A and B are shown apart, each in its own frame.
Chain A
Amino acid sequence: MKHMQMRILSALLLIAPAAMAQEDLGAIFGKDSVRRDPVIATFKSTRIINAQSNETLARGDLDFRVAHRFGDIGGADGGSSTFFGIDNSTDIRIAFEYGITDRLTAGVSRAKGSGHFTQLYEVLGKFKLLQQTMDNRVPLAVTLFGNAVVTSMKSSPDKEAVSYFDKFSSRMSYTAQVVVARKFGDRVSLALLPSYVHRNRVGYMDMNNMFALGVGGRLRFSKRVALVVDYFVPFRDQASKDYYKTQGIEFFNPLGVGFEIETGGHVFHLNFTNSTATLENQFIPETTTSWLQGQFRWGFNISRRFSLGH
């Protein structure tokens, strides 16, 4: 019994001075709880390359964007005669996008257009539905994207042509998209993009409504440089594919690979794509150029952000 008491006593004697010693004041605030803050910078810009990212602009931020796609590097239209495509530009898009709230972005753009239509004007909206959180309570980020595009090109006199516009609505096309993204650690981000493109006027045996699935990713290998990739699989009917094959036209899945360099308010992309267009309404349903035939091109995206709201 004495032995027991002795033990308790010595334990008490050990504890007491510890309680008196210069305490760790931090202890009174408890342990660090796992934070519920939103994950930031899943992507550095609102675009991966061609694909949308889940990112929107902060309230009051204006994003001035220029996207440029050159001509084919190789194949029949490339090579040294066009200085590997640099002499040509297949598409140029200039856009102003603005953060109305931290979740809602609206924008307008003008694109040269590459596909059936040129001289395009776009109105777009993007809404951040869900943000991934650090504690994984919300494991995914979900953003909705939609646009409406109109062509201002002259109607073709040929009534059979795709670019023959009997009414104004024939000039319109639309994209609706869900961007589901997740940042894994601080280096890898992935996105899945179920997409729907509606074109009011299409060619014979082409599809007014087309679904597609996009995937995109970003691998950050230094603080400011990342590898970015995006790829779309458009779900075109076999009958449509077969018909176009007889016309000598084959459709390909757009694939983009690029480097993303970030410096302050600029994000600069240097990329290669087989698709020639910059807008979903065209590069998803109308890509007929193939990597394997040298029909890929240099391109760049420049994003310059200005904070206007303050």
Chain B
Amino acid sequence: MKQLFSLAVALLVFGRLAAQDVYSCRNATLSFFSSAPLEDIEAKTSQGASAINIKTKAVYFKVPINTFQFKKKLMQEHFNENYLESDKYPYAEFKGKILEEVDLTRNGTYPVTVEGALNIHGVTKNYREKGTVTVQNGKINATAKFNVSVADHKIKIPTLVVKNIAEVVEVSVNADYQPVK
């Protein structure tokens, strides 16, 4: 009985310890760029939340849509109101995993592949994208660049502005992580 009890306690403690494998970032930078015949569109936010578990290799991102800043405010209003509908779908969220067996406790730069589900505009799609993870003295940096097709997330572009808005946008991600205490 006592042994079982201590086992349970041990498991609990181990579970707690696992939390120390989690690194988080509250100011991840995300930007996107699209190039269409009439207009280049660029927007950026540094209010992304992200976490990474160096043991399980789980990766998480969450970005408030309405924090993306555009140079043209009218464009920003249209982005929120007509395209991303940030009232209804306030966040973009990614839950995934690093596929490679990399030891993120050691300093170094690791090219990785991340696979997971990305939810934008209420529509989830699976992605498998390349990125880079750099570990230096207990700090982790992750970067990635990938393409999102707006149609994949049911974001409709009216034919009238089809020359202003590209169908595929390039998304860049940059996050600096610290261990969660």
Report yes or no: A35 in contact with B12, Cβ–Cβ below 8 A.
no
Chain A residue nearest to B87 in the complex (CB): A186
Report yes or no: B56 in contact with A22, Cβ–Cβ below 8 A.
yes
What is the CB-to-nearest-CB distance from A24 to chain B, in angstroms, rounded to a whole number?
8
Report yes or no: A26 in contact with B93, Cβ–Cβ below 8 A.
yes
Report yes or no: A9 in contact with B4, Cβ–Cβ below 8 A.
yes
Q: Which residues of B contact A160 (CB under 8 A)?
A: none
Which of A13, A18, A23, A102: most chain B Cβ within 10 A?
A23
Report yes or no: B18 in contact with A23, Cβ–Cβ below 8 A.
yes
Interface residue ranges of B40-58 to A (CB < 8 Å): 49, 51-53, 56, 58
Report yes or no: B56 in contact with A224, Cβ–Cβ below 8 A.
no
Interface residue ranges of A169-190 to B (CB < 8 Å): 186
Known contacts A29-B62, A32-B90; A310/B71 CB under 8 A: yes
Q: How many residues of A contact B (CB 8 A)?
A: 34
Report yes or no: A25 in contact with B11, Cβ–Cβ below 8 A.
no
Contacts between chains A and B (CB distance < 8 A), count: 105
What is the CB-to-nearest-CB distance from B29 to chain A, in angstroms, rounded to a whole number?
17
What is the CB-to-nearest-CB distance from B87 to chain A, in angstroms, rounded to a whole number?
5
Chain B residue nearest to A185 in the complex (CB): B87
A13 to B51 Cα, complex, angstroms: 27
Is there a chain A Cβ closer than 8 Å to B66's Cβ? yes
Report yes or no: B158 in contact with A224, Cβ–Cβ below 8 A.
yes
Is there a chain B Cβ closer than 8 Å to A239's Cβ? no
Is there a chain A Cβ closer than 8 Å to B1's Cβ? yes
A29 to B24 Cα, complex, angstroms: 9
What is the CB-to-nearest-CB distance from A298 to chain B, in angstroms, rounded to a whole number?
23
Known contacts A23-B18, A32-B91, A224-B82; A12/B8 CB under 8 A: yes
Chain B residue nearest to A30 in the complex (CB): B49
Is there a chain A Cβ closer than 8 Å to B15's Cβ? yes
Is there a chain B Cβ closer than 8 Å to A65's Cβ? no
Known contacts A40-B81, A264-B161; A26/B74 CB under 8 A: no
Report yes or no: B81 in contact with A41, Cβ–Cβ below 8 A.
yes
Interface residue ranges of A1-41 to B (CB < 8 Å): 5, 9, 12-13, 15-20, 22-23, 25-26, 28-29, 32, 35, 37, 40-41
Report yes or no: A25 in contact with B58, Cβ–Cβ below 8 A.
yes
Known contacts A20-B14, A263-B158, A310-B71; A26/B78 CB under 8 A: no
Chain A residue nearest to B56 in the complex (CB): A22
Known contacts A32-B90, A61-B74, A186-B88; A25/B8 CB under 8 A: no
Q: Which residues of B contact A29 (CB under 8 A)?
A: 24, 26, 49, 51, 62
Q: Which residues of A contact B74 (CB under 8 A)?
A: 58, 61, 265, 305, 307
A74 to B15 Cα, complex, angstroms: 80
5 contacts between A and B (CB under 8 A): A22-B56, A23-B56, A41-B80, A264-B78, A264-B161
